[in-house]
Amino acid sequence: MAEVSILYNKERAVKLMNEAGVEGVIATTPENVQYITGIPLRTTSWNMQIYALLPKDESKKMAIIIPTNRLSVLSQKGIPDADVYVHGTFYLLGEPTDDITEDMEILVGLLKDRHVYNDALEALLAALSDKGYSNEALAIDEMRMSPTVMEGLKKQYAGKISYGYRLIRQIRLVKTQPEIERLRKVARLNEEGELLMIGMIKEGASEAELAQAYREFATRNNSITGMIAVGGGPRSSLPLIEEYLYSFKKGDLVRFDLCLQHNGYWADTGRTAVLGEPNAWQSKSFDAIYKGWEHALSMVKPGAVACDIFNSTMDVVLHSGIDVFKRQHVGHAIGLEIYDDIVIGPTDHSVIEENMVLNIEVPYYLLGSGGFQIEDTVVVTKDGWEFLTGAERKLFVC
């Protein structure tokens, strides 16, 4: 059975729970559940209820509330140091034979003599009772708890209940060292796939061929693709591309914005290429966004404020040769989600902290003419930042 790596920031979790005045948090979204348990417990529908209860008191084990038919995931992925509460009916027929695999043996053990609760609410209430919760304040990730369970919990649990989705995402913002290494690995993988695509650019090659090559690269590397925005010529100005319709010709810009997930964590990387030597407008535009991107990076350090980075970066781009430039943000936090809980935009007053991981980007979309992208991932250090990405930061000439 695989060993489970618990990566969550325990010190920050206790600190923010203290500030929120709660004695525990209950995660419900797949990303928040994985953060607490270390296991990707995905759901197959929006109404499937999987929770993770994290007590503030570290002497108490976490609890996992899970449908019976998801126990096989635990038997394959590993079981963290947690109490498991199962709910719902599922029939696994027959008796174990001598040739069953290790994960099947573990599954049989998980099912044997285990009490199965009727539904998620009953299982959650049992977990709370076993952990000694009676009237303590709790924060609940409201995004994937069904209204029926939420209403039932409010009626049957005596303690104060507050919404906790944002609280858990705030805990997630400051990464542990193992998380940073996972983000470094997926960032480098994503760049490898991106450089593979850039190497395929030639006259007559198509967006579809590049996108398919990226998908195959992801599969070979046990990864999952998210956004595959590869647009050529006039379509390079489209921010999102899901239908690949264009074949490249000389003089075209090709803009990449690629998202890849590996071992639960995301990369989001962008580059721009041109087929043949760039013209004056292409060079001038890329230079302007590069100066903005470089300036945004120069402001990243502990204590910086997200909206200040945005406002200053916009000024730099507008004074660097682009007459009309508008953006809603120039970057975001990244981790178990492509967009974690900071967006470096005009209304985000978040203060940057050491060991946050940020994507810095200053894209430019001019409809019909072309688009430019440069996007990199950095970890915030004591005095500034360090790249997790490593590919050249230039206008690639193919």
User: Predicted confidence band at 161 (pLDDT cuts at 50, 70, 90)?
Assistant: very high
Q: Is the pLDDT of residue 271 over 80?
A: yes
Positions of CATH 3.90.230.10 in the chain: 177-397
User: Predicted confidence band at 359 (pLDDT cuts at 50, 70, 90)?
Assistant: very high
Distance from C-alpha of 63 to C-alpha of 60, rounded to nearest angstrom: 9
Give the count of beta carbons closer than 10 Å to the beta carbon of residue 189.
20
Structure tokens belonging to residue 365: 């979309």
Q: Which residues pair with 377 in a beta bridge?
A: 359
Q: Which pLDDT belongs to residue 3?
A: 63
Distance from C-alpha of 281 to C-alpha of 127, rounded to nearest angstrom: 63
Q: Which pLDDT belongs to residue 4?
A: 72
Strand bridging mode 51-55 / 161-163: unpaired
Mean pLDDT of all residues in 287-297: 96
Distance from C-alpha of 370 to C-alpha of 200, rounded to nearest angstrom: 19
Of residues 152 and 47, the one with the higher pLDDT is 152
Question: H or E stretch including 138?
Answer: strand 138-140
Give the count of beta carbons closer than 10 Å to the beta carbon of residue 206.
16
Of residues 9 and 114, the one with the higher pLDDT is 9
Structure tokens belonging to residue 393: 């930061």
Distance from C-alpha of 312 to C-alpha of 158, rounded to nearest angstrom: 49
User: Predicted confidence band at 145 (pLDDT cuts at 50, 70, 90)?
Assistant: very high
Assigned CATH for 177-397? 3.90.230.10
User: pLDDT tens digits for 312-338?
Assistant: 999 999 999 888 889 999 999 999 999
Q: Which pLDDT belongs to residue 239?
A: 92
Q: Is the pLDDT of residue 295 over 80?
A: yes
Positions of CATH 3.40.350.10 in the chain: 10-172
* Residue % of the chain over a pLDDT of 90: 84
User: Predicted confidence band at 299 (pLDDT cuts at 50, 70, 90)?
Assistant: very high
In this structure, whether the domain defined by 10-172 belongs to CATH 3.40.350.10 is answered with yes
User: pLDDT tens digits for 63-104?
Assistant: 999 999 888 888 888 888 899 999 998 877 777 777 888 888
Three-state DSSP state, 364: strand
Q: Is the pLDDT of residue 24 over 60?
A: yes
Q: Which residues pair with 260 in a beta bridge?
A: 225, 267
Of residues 302 and 100, the one with the higher pLDDT is 302
Mean pLDDT of all residues in 26-33: 96
Q: Is the pLDDT of residue 266 over 90?
A: yes
Q: Which residues pair with 84 in a beta bridge?
A: 64
Q: Which pLDDT belongs to residue 9?
A: 95
